[in-house]
């Protein structure tokens, strides 16, 4: 930035928007039990590596603002509350279409970028409302399905739920695995179940939620990630947001390493979605740095990376407000719904 700029908060130069790359769907592969059983995870090494990402990859000033704008494009803006109403979902969709206030857009000089979120994530009951509210914006609706969050309803009922959400207009389906299959070592049952969900999704992209807070050890996380990718998952996702522990950096690092291993073995790119507990802008920056380090530039696009977020957008707005004005705004000035 030139020293004579009249607006020191403005990001310049700002690149022209780049259309998202259309990645091929994951066709899946036969279950290779030897590969699954051979998986090992060195927990202490994972935790050491995860602990170095933030300190090594800090960004400041204009660079930080640019990365935070990128994070907005990668959000699945989410409401999964028992008291959700059509009005709340409509307001959330309005925020998804225009996540930043006009004065911030003007101050940052990004009006031509058309910043918007990656998707809106809701329960099946609210899919039709979200589809109507988003209109021709191009923002997909993601529906949580298969007896979310426990995933313990009868299998035919879970499959019908997927089909109903797709019929209502959902373009992405977030399913949950049956954790009991993992704890009993029944990898074939997990594979068959996830494969059936994938078939029910049809053209809709499938994100497979592992509920990593319930899986106890990192080796379980790695093995479940691998089985779900073999069964055809387009994304693997950390959490429902309802567990006592949701997305963490060590768990996420294990999952992206399995994505990398699957890519090296099959040539297929799988997406990743950390969800639950990521509410601060500085956390989002660390996750972005991890994705770029571990998987490369392609995983900084919505086609391959999403944040499951509700309050994260509010903190990003406050950080951008500080970048442009030197002051933090009150949280209530940035309502979501």
* Active-site amino acid positions: 174, 237, 273
Q: Which sign, positive or negative, has the C-alpha torsion 16, 21, 77, 243?
A: negative
Other beta carbons within 10 Å of 199: 14
How many residues belong to the chain? 337
Query: In this structure, what token pair is assigned to residue 296?
Result: 């490369």
Asked if 281 contacts 312 with a C-beta cutoff of 8 angstroms, the reply is yes
Burial of 203 from C-beta contacts in 10 A (0-12 / 13-18 / 19+): exposed
* CA 36 to chain CA mean position, Å: 25
Backbone torsions φ then ψ of 305, nearest 5 degrees = -150, 135
* Ramachandran region, residue 269 (left: φ > 0; alpha: ψ -120 to 50; beta: rest): beta
Q: Where are the alpha helices (DSSP H) in the chain?
A: 33-37, 43-56, 61-73, 86-97, 102-108, 127-134, 155-168, 179-183, 187-201, 218-230, 249-266, 281-294, 312-325
CA distances (Å), origin 126, targets 82, 117, 284, 332: 12, 18, 27, 25
How many CA within 13 A on the CB side of residue 53?
23
Check if the beta carbon of residue 79 is closer than 8 Å to that of residue 311.
no
CA distance 71 to 119: 12
Burial label for 174, CB within 10 Å (0-12, 13-18, 19+), is buried
Selection from 230, 235, 144 nearest residue 193 by Cα: 230
């Amino acid at each position: 930035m030139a020293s004579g700029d009249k607006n020191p908060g403005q990001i310049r130069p700002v690149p022209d928007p780049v259309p998202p790359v259309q990645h091929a769907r994951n066709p899946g592969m036969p279950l290779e039990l030897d590969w699954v059983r051979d998986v090992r995870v060195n927990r202490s090494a994972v935790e050491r590596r995860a602990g170095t990402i933030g300190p090594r990859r800090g960004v400041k000033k204009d660079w930080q603002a640019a990365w935070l704008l990128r994070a907005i494009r990668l959000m699945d803006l989410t409401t999964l509350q028992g008291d959700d109403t059509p009005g709340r979902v409509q307001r959330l969709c309005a925020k998804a279409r225009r996540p930043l206030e006009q004065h911030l857009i003007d101050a940052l000089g990004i009006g031509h970028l058309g910043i918007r979120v990656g998707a809106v994530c809701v329960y099946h009951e609210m899919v039709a409302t979200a589809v109507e509210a988003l209109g021709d914006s191009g923002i997909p609706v993601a529906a949580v399905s298969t007896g979310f969050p426990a995933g313990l309803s009868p299998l035919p009922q879970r499959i019908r739920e997927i089909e109903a959400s797709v019929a209502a207009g959902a373009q992405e389906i977030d399913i949950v695995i049956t954790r009991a299959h993992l704890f009993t070592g029944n990898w074939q049952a997990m594979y068959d179940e996830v494969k059936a969900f994938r078939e029910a999704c049809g053209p809709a992209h499938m994100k497979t939620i592992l509920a990593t807070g319930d899986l106890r050890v990192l080796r379980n996380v790695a093995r479940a990630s691998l089985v779900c990718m073999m069964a055809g998952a387009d994304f693997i996702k950390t959490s429902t947001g309802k567990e006592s522990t949701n997305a963490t950096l060590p768990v996420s690092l294990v999952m992206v390493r399995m994505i990398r291993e699957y890519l090296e073995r099959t040539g297929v790119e799988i997406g990743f979605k950390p969800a639950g507990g990521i509410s601060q802008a500085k956390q989002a920056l660390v996750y972005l740095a991890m994705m770029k380090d571990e998987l490369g530039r392609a995983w900084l696009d919505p086609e391959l990376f999403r944040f499951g977020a509700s309050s994260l957008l509010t903190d990003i707005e406050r950080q951008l407000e500080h970048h442009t004005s030197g002051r933090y705004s009150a949280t209530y000035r940035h309502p979501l719904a």
